[in-house]
Amino acid sequence: MAARRRTLRTLTGAAAVCAALVSTAWSRPVPPPADVRAEAAAATAGTPAAATPAAGAPAAEASAAGAPAGEAPAGEGPAAEGPATLCAPAGVLRGARGERAVVQLCAGSGTPVMAVSAPASCRRPGTSVRYACLTSGSWTARRDGAAVASGTLPGSQPYPGPGTYEVTASVHVRSTPSGVDLRGTVRATLTLTAPKQQPTHRVEVDRHMLRPGTTTTLTYRVYRDSEQGDGSARFGLIGEESTGVRISTADARCVNPLIGRAPSRDRLGFSVDCALTDLQPGRPATVRVRVRQTSACSTVVSKLGYWMPRGQALYTGGMVEGPTVGCS
C-alpha cells in the first residue's frame, strides 16, 4: 500500500511539471510580423492633463530570425498585405486627483483609406471600477516633416502610401462610468508598409479657375481605369450656397438634387448630381455643366462615388475626390 502511495505521488509530481511546461509555452506572446514596426513617444500636453510616456512602453519592433528588424529573411520576398491595423503606445494623460488614461494611436492600412483612432484605458485611484474609455479629438500625420493627412478622432483620410508617419493627436478621454475626464496631446511613430492601391476611377476638368459675375461651361471627363467593377457611378458637383452660385446642365443623366418632404419640388440650384451607367476602361463619360457666378466668388468641388461588386458583400466600392475649380 505504501508503494502504491509513492507511485501516486510520483505520477502527480510528473503531471504538475508537464502542466507547468505547457502553461509556460502557451503563455509566450506570439511575435508580430517582421515587417511591422512601431515606435512611440509621448509629449507633454498644454491642457489640464499632462501627457507622459507610458512606463515600460518602448518602440515595438519585430524581426524574422537572422534578419534585421523590418526585413524579410534572405531569399524571401515581402508577403502580400491585406487590411490591417497598427497600434503604438502614444502617452499617458494624468489628472490632478491621480486619474490616468493610457492612450494608443492606431492607423489602418491595406485599403484606400488610412483610418486613425486613439483607444485608451482609464484608471482612478481608490476604486476597483473597470472603466470604459471614450476618446475624441483630432490628429495630424506627418511624413518626412510634411503634413500628409489630418482629421477627427476617429477618422479616415485617403491612404498616402507606405512610410514612417509621425502622428500627433489632441485627445479628450472620458470614462464610463464617470470619474476620468482628461485632455492632452499624444504622439506616436507608425511605420506602414502596405502599398498604396492604384485608383480605379478619376475625374478631370478642362479649366481650374472661374471669375466672379461670369457664366462658364465646365467640361468634366470621368474615367474608369480598372477592369474591376462595372460601369455605374454617381458624379456630383457642388458650389458654396451662400454665394448665390448656380450650376445647371442639359445632360439627361444629371439633375439638381431634390430636397424636402413630398410633395416638395424644391431643388438645390448650387449642386448637380449625375447617374453614370456606361463607364468602361477606354470609354470615359463626358459631363458639361454651366456655372453662373455672382459677385461673390464660389469654388466648385466634385466627387465620384462608385460600386465595386463583390458577390453579395454590402460595403464595396469607394469615393474619389475630383478636381476643385477655384474662383477669383
> Is pLDDT at 41 greater than 50 in this prediction?
no
DSSP state of 92: E
Is the pTM higher than 0.85? The answer reads no
pLDDT at position 49, please? 46
Pairing type for strands 215-224 and 201-205 reads: antiparallel
Q: How confident is the model at residue 52 (pLDDT cuts 50, 70, 90)?
A: very low
Q: How confident is the model at residue 215 (pLDDT cuts 50, 70, 90)?
A: very high
Q: Please, where are the H alpha helices in the chain?
A: 2-27
pLDDT at position 250, please? 98
pLDDT at position 81, please? 65
Mean pLDDT of the chain: 82
More confidently predicted of 316 and 81: 316
Q: Are 176 and 132 in contact (CB under 8 A)?
A: yes
More confidently predicted of 257 and 58: 257
Q: Are 130 and 152 in contact (CB under 8 A)?
A: no
163-176, strands of its sheet edge to edge: 60-61, 37-40, 181-192, 163-176, 132-143, 146-153
- Render pLDDT for 243-265 as a digit per residue (tens, 0 to 9): 999 999 999 999 999 999 999 99
pLDDT at position 271, please? 98
Mean pLDDT across 289-293: 98
Mean pLDDT across 104-128: 94
All domains in the chain, ordered by first residue: 37-57+82-192 (no CATH), 201-327 (2.60.40)
> Is pLDDT at 5 greater than 50 in this prediction?
no
Instruction: Count, in order, helices (H) and strands (E) of the chain.
Output: 1, 23
Strand partners, 113: 158
pLDDT at position 10, please? 43
Long-range contacts, 158-163 (Cβ 8 Å, 24+): 158/112, 158/113, 158/114, 158/321, 159/109, 159/111, 159/112, 159/113, 159/114, 159/194, 159/196, 159/197, 160/114, 160/196, 161/195, 161/196, 162/109, 162/192, 162/193, 162/194, 162/195, 162/196, 163/191, 163/192
Phi-psi region of 126 (alpha: psi -120 to 50; beta: other; left: phi over 0): left
pLDDT at position 308, please? 84
Mean pLDDT across 99-103: 97
Mean pLDDT across 62-75: 35
> Is pLDDT at 213 greater than 90 in this prediction?
yes
Mean pLDDT across 208-229: 96
- Render pLDDT for 82-96 as a digit per residue (tens, 0 to 9): 789 999 999 999 999
Mean pLDDT across 195-217: 95
Strand partners, 213: none
More confidently predicted of 319 and 139: 139
- The CA-to-CA distance between both ends of the chain, in Å, stands at 103
Mean pLDDT across 259-277: 97
Q: How confident is the model at residue 99 (pLDDT cuts 50, 70, 90)?
A: very high
